[in-house]
């Protein structure tokens, strides 16, 4: 370790989308250092997503953060990015005859907040010509779906952070945190950093960072999800076709820049790590996709896996620790960390600096208290104590 010692107002741990976005927000008001253990920010989950903005996906708090993020996506600050962050991509949830109950429940919930359409088999075929005839009997179409330019969003936040004089420290794995009653001393593989406030945006490693700091356990569970790319079938011309998702989230398929992105929508519990695809999940994916679509999978062009990290209620965890001073959680982004990033960062920056929650969030019937670490932690601790 070098002898470098830097003092700032805030240290953000982890430079994925969560850390980059809150670091950019905070750096408008104070000095911020972003510590990333990899040489490449975005190397872990942020660089491995399916890049979908799905307003009807996820629990209530996630849906509210997604709706509240839309304004930023549509009109990012000048100079943030070179092109649009969103491109329309309808979302089609499909159900077999035996999945009618799940589809009804989904339509019920989604239609309270957004405009969705129920489709019959013929209607689904019009939108998704690859659907195998006779497989699905009904579906829900959400026209509010979008593809996200994830790299542009992530780079935009990192650029904004740099312009606001933020410091990004790469290869700076955090290995210890100590509090002297006033300040944190954070030991990283690139040197020592001191600050009164630490933000934990370490993705799948967030509970490990919490433990190093002596904070509460939020019960974060990293879950592996696999994705792969195949060639489009010959004669396929509908690159604007919807992302098509099984209503019980057993698989999905999305046209992606001239290829098809597939996933078995797996959620295999994992230790925090550099996740790799498992051959069994790849085979399950091919099998499910070939049952539901008129596609013959002969070759997988590339495949990858990433960790989606959830607490028990699947809502993100955004708020101060009540166990240790000056320790702020920005974790548990699950499968929604990209689509929610703009609003989550605004909320987190306001809470971390003790400012009022912006109206653009409260307008979306949003209760920040539901995302506090106290909401996530006690559930898990009670579970542990009853074992």
The residue within the footprint of ligand FAD, chosen from 10, 12, 15, 245 (CB under 6 A), is 15
Strand-pairing partners, residue 176, are 187
How many CB atoms within 10 Å of residue 164?
17
101-130 positions binding ligand FAD, by CB under 6 A = none
**Under rule CB under 6 A, residue 27 binds ligand FAD:** no
Distance CA 182, CA 192 (A): 16
Stretch in the footprint of ligand FAD (CB under 6 A) among 177-185, 294-302, 321-329, 330-338: 330-338
Our CB check for ligand FAD shows the closer of 15 and 361 to be 15
Distance CA 200, CA 46 (A): 16
Stretch in the footprint of ligand FAD (CB under 6 A) among 15-23, 276-284, 319-327, 369-377: 15-23
Interface pattern 40-69 for ligand FAD (x via CB under 6 A): ---xxxx-xxxxx-----------------
Minimum CB–partner distance for residue 267 and ligand FAD (Å): 10
Nearest of 220, 302, 298 to residue 257 by alpha carbon: 302
Minimum CB–partner distance for residue 226 and ligand FAD (Å): 7
**Under rule CB under 6 A, residue 16 binds ligand FAD:** yes
How many CB atoms within 10 Å of residue 382?
9
**Under rule CB under 6 A, residue 318 binds ligand FAD:** no
Contact call for residues 339 and 66 (beta carbons, < 8 A): yes
Our CB check for ligand FAD shows the closer of 16 and 210 to be 16
Which tokens in the block code for residue 26? Answer: 């905070």
Instruction: Count Cα neighbours of 191 within 13 Å in the Cβ-side half-sphere.
Output: 14
Distance CA 113, CA 54 (A): 12
- Cα distances from 227 to residues 230, 281, 283, in angstroms, run 10, 9, 12
Minimum CB–partner distance for residue 101 and ligand FAD (Å): 25
How many CB atoms within 10 Å of residue 44?
24
- Cα distances from 346 to residues 303, 337, 341, 350, 353, in angstroms, run 33, 13, 9, 6, 11
Our CB check for ligand FAD shows the closer of 209 and 213 to be 209
Stretch in the footprint of ligand FAD (CB under 6 A) among 67-75, 127-135, 198-206, 347-355: 198-206
**Under rule CB under 6 A, residue 281 binds ligand FAD:** no
Distance CA 296, CA 313 (A): 38
Which residue shows structure tokens 């001073």?
325
Minimum CB–partner distance for residue 182 and ligand FAD (Å): 23
**Under rule CB under 6 A, residue 35 binds ligand FAD:** yes
161-190 positions binding ligand FAD, by CB under 6 A = 173-174
Binding site for ligand FAD (CB under 6 A): 13-19, 35-38, 43-46, 48-52, 173-174, 201-205, 209, 225, 227, 306, 308, 333-339
């Amino acid at each position: 370790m070098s002898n470098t010692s830097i003092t700032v107002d805030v240290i953000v741990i982890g430079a994925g989308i969560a850390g980059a976005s809150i670091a950019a927000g905070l750096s408008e008001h104070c000095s911020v250092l972003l510590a990333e253990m990899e040489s490449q920010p975005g190397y872990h989950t942020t660089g491995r997503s399916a890049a979908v903005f799905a307003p009807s996906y996820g629990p209530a708090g996630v849906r509210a953060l997604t709706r509240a993020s839309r304004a930023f996506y549509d009109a990012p600050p000048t100079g943030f990015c070179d092109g649009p962050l969103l491109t329309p991509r309808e979302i089609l949830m499909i159900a077999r005859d035996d999945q009618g109950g799940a589809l009804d429940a989904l339509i019920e919930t989604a239609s309270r907040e957004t405009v969705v359409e129920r489709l019959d088999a013929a209607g689904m075929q019009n939108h998704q010509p690859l659907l195998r005839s006779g497989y699905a009997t009904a579906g829900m179409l959400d026209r509010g779906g979008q593809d996200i330019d994830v790299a542009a969003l992530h780079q935009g936040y990192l650029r904004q952070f740099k312009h606001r004089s933020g410091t990004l420290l790469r290869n700076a794995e955090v290995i210890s945190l100590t509090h002297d009653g006033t300040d944190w001393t954070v030991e990283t593989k690139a040197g020592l950093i001191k600050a009164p406030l630490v933000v934990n945006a370490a993705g799948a490693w967030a509970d490990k960072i919490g433990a190093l700091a002596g904070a509460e356990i939020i019960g974060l569970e990293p879950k592996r999800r696999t994705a792969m790319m195949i060639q489009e079938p010959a004669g396929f011309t509908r690159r604007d076709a919807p992302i098509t998702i099984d209503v019980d989230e057993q698989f999905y398929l999305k046209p992606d820049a001239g290829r098809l992105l597939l996933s078995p929508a797996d959620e295999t519990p994992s230790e925090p790590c550099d996740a790799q695809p498992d051959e069994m999940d790849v085979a399950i994916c091919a099998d499910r996709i070939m049952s539901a679509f008129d596609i013959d999978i002969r070759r997988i062009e590339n495949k990858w896996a990433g960790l989606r990290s959830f607490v028990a209620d699947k809502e993100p965890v955004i708020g101060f620790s009540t166990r240790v001073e000056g320790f702020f959680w920005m974790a548990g982004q699950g499968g929604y960390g990209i689509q929610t990033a703009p609003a989550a960062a605004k909320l987190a920056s306001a809470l971390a600096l003790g400012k009022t929650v912006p109206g653009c969030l409260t307008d979306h019937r949003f209760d920040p208290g539901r995302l506090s670490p106290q909401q996530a932690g006690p559930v898990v601790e009670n579970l542990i104590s009853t074992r």
